[in-house]
Amino acid sequence: MSLAKRLAYFVGLPILLLVLWWALTIGNTNFFVPKPLQLFEIFGDVWFGDRLVTDVLPSIGRLLAGVAISIVLGIVLGIVIGSVRLLRQLTEPSLEFLRAIPPPVLIPVLALIIGINDQMKVAVIIFGCIWPVLLNTIEGVRAVDPVLNDTCSVYGISGGARMRYLVLRSASPQIMTGIRQSLSIGLILMVISEMFGSSSGLGYAIVQFQRTFSVPEMWTGIILLGLLGVALSLVFQFTEKRVLRWYHGLREVDR
Amino acid sequence: MTAAQSPPATRRSIPWNQHPIASPMLGIAGILLFLAVWELASRTGIVNPRFLPPASEVLLQLGRNFVSADFWTAVGQTMTSWAIGLAIAAAAATVIGFIIGGSDFLRRATHTTIEFLRPIPSVALIPLAVLLFGVSIESSLLLIVYASFWQILIQVLYGTADVDNVAMDTARSYGLGWWARVRHVVWPTTLPYLITGLRLGAAVALVLAITAELVIGTEGLGKQIELNRSGGSVVPMYALVIATGLIGVVINIGMRFVERRALRWHSSVRGDVAV
Amino acid sequence: MSNTTTKTNRGPKTGVIEVPEDVALSVQHLKKVYQTDGGEIEAVRDLHFDIRAGEFVCLVGPSGAGKTTLLKCIAGLLAPTSGLVALDGRLVTGPPKGLAVVFQEYGRSLFPWMNIRDNVELPLKNQGVAKDERDRLVDDALEAVGLAHVPKSYPWQLSGGMQQRVAIARAIAYQPKVLLMDEPFAAVDAQTRADLEDLVRRVWKRLGITVLFVTHDIDESVYLGERVVVLSSSPTVVQEDLTIDLPADRDQLETRSMARFTELRGHVYEQIQRAKAEAPNRTSSTPTV
């Protein structure tokens, strides 16, 4: 396929949709219907002024901190539980239950225990994001190929070296799947933890716009969250491609 | 010689926790241990019991919930929006998925758009839902449908991409029309993927149903949790949190059961997907 | 010696087993019983043989003869139910140093996330071998298996035969005294297989290591080995221990067309047929060897 054709496929539909949106709202005076050019004009004013420092960056910071802690904790605990059969048997049903609790209900619980502050918001993100990483890591550690395991034993690769060269790498496809799920849960929790009795942050700002009927501003907030989601997903895909290059290559050959 | 000598030596060689009933027993022990730690943490005051009441009190309240009509009304409200939302999302995702997946052109043309819309967190739509629908069930449905639609759509697209070219060519050479091909070739291949999508969508739908009730205030368990929190009724609040977890477990187990059943009678795909 | 052999592998605390001086690997009254839900399965009943240092021994037996079980016991990956394995006069209780294994499943014994060179280098790196020494050993090993030109490729980018060459390179770079090979060529095509057989003979001669080569292919065992140990059907005992008196320089065409080769092959074939036929009778009686 030629480059031009690929580009057409890549941007064709998005451009078509934007033009449609623009054309259909051109003479519309309905207060609730956003217009693309108007949103484009106010987007910078709304988000790149003071709000960048008071709302946007702190939100992103909490999200990244929560997700990072979840990933590290999830992988470490997952390796420990996954390697010890007894621990796995003991914790499996409990983890199954904890994972099934819809993470947002932890917001009132943690608001009670910790209070409404930054730590609570990060804790909410951790409580929601750790399960996919933890459970996927356990699965991955369990599924280490027995032949590779024997190979390591034969060549005297044990302990930390075995973790580093065998277990972590072998479980990395499952771990990455868990991280992807964590990222989308983290973003959701970041937003609603701020909608809930808070006075700053992206989620708070958007709800404020809605309450004061600043509808175009509210729409720019929705778009900003969308862009944030897309950005996270792109960063993830980029990382995943590099970390799991061997895995995708292997799968390609197996097909 | 073998029969007389080996048993004592070998019984020792099998670890006790590999006994067939060891896993469920240990699992129950794990839960009891978890509850015991919780109970102790609260009773000894390591965590302020006003914020974390003892497990026994919460479980007692949960038991009382099970015979309370109000509790079941709230469960019913939550599950109604869950079911309607999931059904709308599944129907829409299946139809749209089959249309897009059936055409190479559409698949390519929609790729960027889908990849852009999919990561948008559905909770970003909360303000919009409030403006449009207020605290009615439609607010919940908007969030639930948006979130679970993408999960199911992506799986259906994977499924339609997995259709065997040889089977498709065979069907075409025997003169099967578009509808017949969809029914006899595309549909059976895609069904397992669709069910996986349903399982993932069902979990997400519950999260969004509770979230909508919690944040927007539509009727259901989430709203009850928030009411109890703001009213300082800590024990009932914890009991409801546990209840949402139990509903989550039931949905997960139920959907996995459905998935396994569906894959079993679909022997053509069992080898690939059942593992 | 015979009185030590009845002990279990936990018996001798010192770990030193008395064996004749030139014996590299000694398998003494080895027995392995598996526990399953359906009861016990006796995979190996009573295996007893010695391999002298520098020998090339082929183990051949009907499929399901417990060959892999035996090999795992020797490699220290499985604990025998009774009997023992000694490597260089030392009791094997876990994977011993100085022993390398080439598995049948070449695709699953190489690390798919490492390139060829890293795969071969890893065991040496793990042992703390200095960088210069490591590079030399890896280069030599890759050279010896004819893979010096693809060190940066990943295993899954190579054909099955090439992957098995990498596994062999990794084994020889490790500088083992004993090399175990578990049906290494069972899953590669015939032409590649002939090449690999000659490769293994060359490596054995050049390095002077002891090779125990497990196979179910009678031709292969006679062509490769200096000695062929024929195993019975499960529960396994040694059916026959045969010296292969073919010339040391083996050639795929010449050796295989020798009258003596045909004779030996016929003999091993008969033994295996007999082993299969006798199998049902032996399940409840004591071994005959």
Give chain B's domains with CATH numbers. 2-43 (no CATH), 56-273 (1.10.3720.10)
| Inter-chain CB pairs, A–C, below 8 Å | 68
Nearest-neighbour CA in chain A from C95: distance (Å): 5
Verify whether the Cβ–Cβ distance B9 to C82 is below 8 Å. Answer: yes
CA distances from A55 to A190, A223, A255, B187 (A): 12, 15, 47, 47
Other chains touching C, judged by 3 or more CB pairs under 8 Å = A, B
Cβ pair A253:C157 closer than 8 A: yes
Asked whether the beta carbons of residue A233 and residue B241 sit closer than 8 angstroms, the reply is no
**Model confidence band, residue B33 (pLDDT cutoffs 50, 70, 90):** very high
C-alpha C110/C-alpha B275 separation (Å) is 23
Distance (Å) from the C-alpha of residue C133 to the closest C-alpha of chain B? 42
Interatomic CA distance for residues A216 and A228, integer angstroms: 18
- Asked if the model's pLDDT at residue B87 lies above 90, the reply is yes
Cα gap A74→C27, rounded to integer Å: 45
Mutation target to probe the A interface, by most A beta carbons within 10 A, among C103, C113, C182 is: C113
Instruction: Determine contact: B4 vs chain C, CB below 8 A.
Output: no
- Chain centroid to CA B105: 32
Report chain B residues whose CB lies below 8 A from the CB of C8: 9
pLDDT at site C117: 92
**Band of the pLDDT at B266, cuts 50, 70, 90?**
low
HSE of C276, CA atoms in CB hemisphere, 13 A? 10
Does residue C235 have a cis peptide bond before it, meaning omega lies within 30 degrees of 0?
yes
CB neighbours of C202 closer than 8 A, spacing ≥ 6? C144
Residue ranges for chain A with pLDDT beneath 50: none
Closest residue in A to B226 (Cα–Cα): A108
Q: Model confidence at C9, in pLDDT bands (50, 70, 90)? A: very low
With tokens 């050959």, the residue in question is: A253
**SS3 at position A92:** helix
Q: What is the DSSP string of A103-170?
A: GGGHHHHHHHHH-SSHHHHHHHHHHHHHHHHHHHHHHHHHT--HHHHHHHHHTT--HHHHIIIIIHHH
According to the model, what pLDDT value does residue A40 have?
81
Q: Considering only residues 190 to 219 of chain C, which have any Cβ-Cβ distance to chain B shorter than 8 Å? A: none
Three-state secondary structure call for residue C189: coil
Which residues does A contribute to its contact with C (CB < 8 Å)?
145, 147-148, 150-151, 153-157, 161, 165-166, 169-170, 172, 246-247, 249-250, 253
Say if the Cβ atoms of A153 and C103 lie within 8 Å: no
Q: Does any domain span residue A83?
A: yes
| Torsion-angle region of B268 (φ positive above 0: left; ψ -120 to 50: alpha; else: beta) | alpha
Q: What is the mean pLDDT of residues C27-45?
A: 83
Per-residue pLDDT at B75? 93
Name the residue among A85, A184, A222 with its Cβ closest to that of B128. A222
Q: How is the beta sheet containing C236-243 ordered, strand by strand?
A: C90-91, C82-87, C23-36, C39-52, C236-243, C227-231, C56-60, C210-215, C178-182, C99-102
Asked if residue B3 has pLDDT above 70, the reply is no
Q: Which of residues 188-217 of B touch C (CB under 8 A)?
A: none
Write out chain A residues lying below 8 Å of C156, CB-based: 246, 249-250, 253
| pLDDT higher than threshold 50 for residue C289 | no
**CA–CA distance, C260 with C246 (Å, rounded to integer):** 7
Tell me the count of A-B CB pairs closer than 8 A: 170
State which residues form the domain around A211. 51-244
Q: What percent of chain C lies above the pLDDT cut of 70?
A: 91
Q: Which residue of A151, A170, A250 is in closest CB contact with C156?
A: A250
pLDDT at residue B161 tops 90: no
CATH of residue A152 = 1.10.3720.10
Are the C-beta atoms of residues C138 and C121 closer than 8 Å to each other? yes
Question: Cα–Cα distance between A150 and C100 in angstroms, integer?
Answer: 11
**C-beta atoms of C82 and B14 within 8 A:** no
pLDDT the model gives residue B12: 42
Say whether C8 and B9 touch across the interface (CB within 8 A): yes
Residues of A numbered 64-123 whose beta carbons fall under 8 angstroms of chain B's beta carbons: which are they?
Answer: 85-86, 89-94, 96-109, 111-113
| CB contact C163 to B (< 8 Å) | no
Answering whether pTM is above 0.95, one says: no
Q: Does some domain include residue A209?
A: yes
Contacts of C286 in chain B (CB under 8 A): 1
pLDDT (0 to 100) of residue A255: 61
For the cut 60, the answer to whether the pLDDT of residue B267 exceeds it is no
Distance from CA of A56 to the nearest CA of C (A): 38
Chain A closest CA to C6's CA: distance in Å? Answer: 26
Three-state secondary structure call for residue C153: coil
pLDDT at residue B264 in the model: 66
Mean pLDDT computed over B253-267: 76
Q: Are C97 and A156 in contact (CB under 8 A)?
A: yes
Instruction: With beta carbons under 8 A apart, name residues in chain C contacting A154.
Output: 75, 77, 95, 99-101
Choose from B2, B11, B13 for mutation: most chain C CBs within 10 A. Answer: B2
Backbone angles phi, psi at A192, to 5 degrees: -80, -25
* pLDDT tier at C101, thresholds 50, 70, 90: very high
Contact B51 A226 (CB under 8 A): no
Asked whether the ipTM of the predicted complex exceeds the cut of 0.95, the reply is: no
* Per-domain boundaries in chain C: 54-75+93-282
**Rounded to an integer, what distance in angstroms lies between the CA atom of residue C127 and that of residue C129?**
6
pLDDT of res. A61? 92
CB contact under 8 A, C35 and B20: no
Total number of domains constituting chain A: 1
State residue C7's pLDDT score.
Answer: 35
Quick check: A184 and A128 in contact, CB under 8 A?
no
The one-letter code for the residue type at A84 is V
Closest-CA distance of chain C to residue A147, Å:
6
State the best of B16, B35, B51, B62 to mutate against chain A, taking most chain A CBs within 10 Å: B51
Residues of C with CB under 8 A from a CB of A: 72, 75-77, 94-95, 97, 99-101, 103, 105, 108-109, 111-114, 122-123, 126-127, 154, 156-157, 170, 174
Q: Residue length, chain A?
A: 255
Q: Which of B26, B116, B123 sits opposite A230 (nearest CB)?
A: B116
CB contact under 8 Å between C42 and B2, yes or no, is yes
CA-nearest residue to B7 within chain C is C40
Both structure tokens of A143: 């599924």
Element of type H or E holding C227: strand C227-231
B121 → closest Cβ in A91, A105, A188 = A188
pLDDT per position as a tens digit, C247-271: 888 888 888 888 898 989 999 888 8
The mean per-residue pLDDT over the stretch C28-39 comes to: 82
User: CB–CB of B29 and A221 under 8 A?
Assistant: no
Residue with tokens 């700053």: A200
List the beta bridge partners of residue C52. Answer: C23
Residue A43 lies in a domain: no
Chain B residue numbers touching A187 (CB-CB < 8 A): 119, 121
The predicted pLDDT at position C166 comes to 93
A30: which chain B residues are within 8 Å (Cβ-Cβ)?
none
**Which three-class secondary structure state does DSSP give residue A87?**
helix
Indicate the SS3 state at residue C180: strand
Whether the CB of B2 is below 8 Å from some CB of chain C: the reply is yes
Q: Does residue A212 sit within a domain?
A: yes
CB pairs under 8 A between B and C: 21
Amino acid C3: pLDDT: 38
Mean pLDDT of chain C: 83
Q: What is the pLDDT of residue B265?
A: 57
| pLDDT greater than 50 at residue C171 | yes
The one-letter amino acid at B132: L
Phi (first) and psi of residue C249, to 5 degrees: -85, 105
Gap between the Cα atoms of A85 and A69, Å rounded: 25
pLDDT band at C12 (very low <50, low <70, confident <90, very high): very low
pLDDT for B8 equals 35
Write down the CATH superfamily of domain C54-75+93-282. P-loop containing nucleotide triphosphate hydrolases (3.40.50.300)
- With beta carbons under 8 A apart, name residues in chain A contacting C123: 155-157
Mutate to test the interface with C, among A148, A150, A252 (most CBs of C within 10 A): A150
